[in-house]
Amino acid sequence: MNQRILDFFKTVPPLYEKSSKAFWDDEHISKSMLAAHFDGEHDGAS
């Protein structure tokens, strides 16, 4: 069991994987991006 966990953490995932969805189509991300655009305190989404 412990060796499986160690092997898992030693595995390097690919840097980029193609997705069938656009990044901003994710419900959580789109809400966060919209809120960031309307937030006048910072320009993180501009």
Over the stretch 18-28, which tens digit does the pLDDT of each residue have? 777 787 788 88
Angle at 46 between CA 18 and CA 19, to 5 degrees: 10
| pLDDT on residue 2 | 87
Instruction: Give 31's pLDDT tier (boundaries 50, 70, 90).
Output: confident
CA distance linking residue 2 with residue 32, whole number of Å: 37
* The model's pTM: 0.39
Per the CB < 8 A criterion, the answer to whether 13 and 25 are in contact is: no
Give the pair of three-digit tokens for residue 27. Answer: 């419900």
Give the pair of three-digit tokens for residue 25. Answer: 């189509």
Angle at 40 between CA 32 and CA 26, to 5 degrees: 10
